[in-house]
């Protein structure tokens, strides 16, 4: 069933323009269909703020459960914002206080950029852990993306992520480890997922704390895991929500950072993402970037338009299937009442049970 445009958030109109079915509130009010309310804690930097909205909204809207989806974006303090991004947040986002008052059936927590070696040193750490504490006792299931996965695991299981020798960046093949879990029902046993991170929590560390790993890659490590109870928290280390061109946009940003002297090394290609013709186009562009960086001459436009037809998305179908399974399970668990039957025998005050 489609998303309900219960606010004037511009993302709804963008999705309509892309062909997504979006219900207006008046039409939604005449349907005798149950609602599910999903929070989106969006901590992404300004350049990706609205794109992240669209990416997760699409995955929710692609779910085939007979239900109306209301997505409630909000954020936390401690994230530096431009005036434009802050104006967007002030106008369209809800406060955490309102979220707590109204309640949620599910919660998605995005990644974020960091500026300190330790997550606990970040300004957003304390507000984020407050969201964790509330959600663990009041939300049926929490889905964490990338940095949010690292943060919740550090907060609840005392596992600190490990800095990688180089950025884990590209599209990687993953294989199911636990095929019986309902979250991965009827999906391919091998599938692609984009990754973009400098840090990792390893499979052995997760399993020592009882976290159940569902899918992993020999090259990229764990992508999909769940809390010991099997469902209360879903962990992504990759980015299945990414658009086809998300890694292309990120590569462009890195090239521009090199041009402006913000980084010293020219960025490598994301792994398993650019085909040979695209690699050749960008390899031909590199000497021009290096030359103009030294001479101060005008930089030619990044040749993005020349490569778009070569960029493929090899992960979204699996991402949609996992989201459909996730939201379908939430629908089942919250259908009768707010009680969580899968939590019988689980102590909510014990982080190892969450």
Q: State the CATH number of the domain containing residue 320.
A: 3.40.50.880
For residues 189 and 73, state if they share a domain: yes
**From CA 270, how far away is CA 245, in angstroms rounded?**
12
- Residues 237-267 have pLDDT tens digits of 999 999 999 999 999 999 999 999 999 999 9
Q: Which residue reads 């590199």 in tokens? A: 286
pLDDT at position 353: 59
Note whether 173 and 231 are same-domain residues: yes
Asked whether residue 108 falls in the same domain as residue 214, the answer is: yes
Domain shared by 319 and 290, yes or no: no
Please say if 254 is a catalytic residue.
no
Query: In sequence order, what are the residues at sequence separation of 6 or more whose Cβ sits closer than 8 angstroms to the Cβ of residue 201?
Result: 149, 150, 153, 159, 161, 162, 222, 237
**146 noted as active-site residue:** yes
241 is catalytic: yes
Same domain, 71 and 195: yes
Nearest-angstrom CA–CA distance, 187 and 323: 11
Q: Which two tokens stand for residue 310?
A: 């070569």
* Judgement on whether residues 231 and 268 belong to the same structural domain of the protein: no
- Residues (pLDDT < 70) of the chain are 1, 335-354
Residues 285 and 174 in one domain: no
The pLDDT value given to residue 348: 47
293 and 347 assigned to the same domain: no
Number of domains in the chain: 2
User: pLDDT of 215-235, one tens digit each?
Assistant: 999 999 999 999 999 999 999
Q: Label residue 160 exposed, middle or buried (CB < 10 Å: 0-12, 13-18, 19+).
A: middle
> Measured between alpha carbons, how far is 164 from 145 in angstroms, rounded to an integer?
18
Which residue is catalytic, options 88, 239, 250, 254? 239
214 and 273 in a single domain? The answer is no
Does 224 share its domain with 344? yes
Q: How many CA atoms lie within 13 A of 2 on its CB side?
A: 16
pLDDT at position 64, please? 82
Angle at 34 between CA 33 and CA 37, to 5 degrees: 135
Q: Which of 200, 241, 250, 254 is catalytic?
A: 241
* pLDDT value for 228: 96
Contacts 24+ apart (CB under 8 A), 259-263: 259/289, 259/292, 259/293, 259/299, 261/293
Clarify whether residues 256 and 111 are in a common domain: no
For residue 350, the model assigns a pLDDT of: 57
Catalytic residue among 63, 144, 146, 156: 146
The confidence score (pLDDT) of residue 335 equals 66
Query: How high is the pLDDT of residue 347?
Result: 54
Please report the pLDDT score of residue 31 as a whole number.
83
Residues 215 and 300 in one domain: no
Segment 114-141, tens digit of pLDDT: 999 899 999 999 999 999 999 999 999 9
Owning domain of residue 275:
246-310
Does residue 168 contact residue 198 with C-beta atoms inside 8 Å? yes
């Amino acid at each position: 069933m489609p998303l309900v445009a219960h606010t004037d958030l511009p993302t709804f109109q963008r999705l309509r323009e892309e062909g997504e079915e979006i219900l207006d509130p008046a039409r939604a009010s005449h349907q005798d269909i149950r609602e599910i309310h999903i929070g989106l804690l969006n901590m992404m930097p300004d350049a990706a703020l609205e794109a992240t909205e669209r990416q997760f909204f699409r995955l929710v809207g692609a779910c085939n459960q007979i239900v109306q989806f209301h997505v409630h974006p909000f954020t936390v303090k401690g994230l530096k914002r431009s005036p434009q991004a802050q104006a967007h947040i002030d106008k369209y986002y809800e406060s955490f206080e309102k979220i707590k008052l109204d309640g949620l059936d599910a919660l998605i927590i995005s990644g974020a950029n960091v500026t300190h070696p330790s997550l606990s040193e970040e300004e957003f750490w304390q507000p984020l852990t407050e969201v964790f504490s509330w959600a663990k006792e009041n939300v049926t299931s929490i889905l964490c993306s990338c940095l949010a996965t690292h943060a919740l695991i550090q907060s609840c299981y005392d596992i600190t992520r490990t800095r990688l020798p180089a950025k884990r960046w590209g599209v990687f093949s993953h294989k199911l480890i636990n095929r019986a879990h309902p979250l991965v029902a009827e999906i391919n046993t091998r599938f692609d997922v984009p990754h973009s991170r400098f840090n990792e929590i390893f499979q052995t560390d997760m399993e020592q704390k009882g976290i159940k790993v569902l899918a992993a890659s020999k090259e990229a490590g764990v992508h999909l895991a769940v809390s010991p109870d099997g469902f209360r928290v879903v962990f992504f280390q990759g980015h299945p929500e990414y658009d086809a061109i998300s890694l292309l946009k990120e590569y462009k940003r890195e090239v521009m950072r090199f041009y402006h002297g913000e980084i010293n090394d020219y960025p490598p290609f994301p792994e398993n993402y650019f085909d040979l013709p695209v690699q050749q186009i960008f390899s031909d562009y590199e000497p021009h970037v290096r030359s103009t960086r030294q001479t101060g001459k005008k930089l030619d436009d990044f040749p993005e338009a020349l490569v778009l037809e070569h960029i493929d998305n090899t992960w979204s179908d699996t991402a949609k299937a996992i989201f459909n399974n996730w939201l379908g399970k939430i629908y089942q668990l919250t259908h009768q009442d707010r009680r969580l039957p899968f939590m019988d025998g689980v102590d909510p005050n014990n982080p190892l049970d969450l």
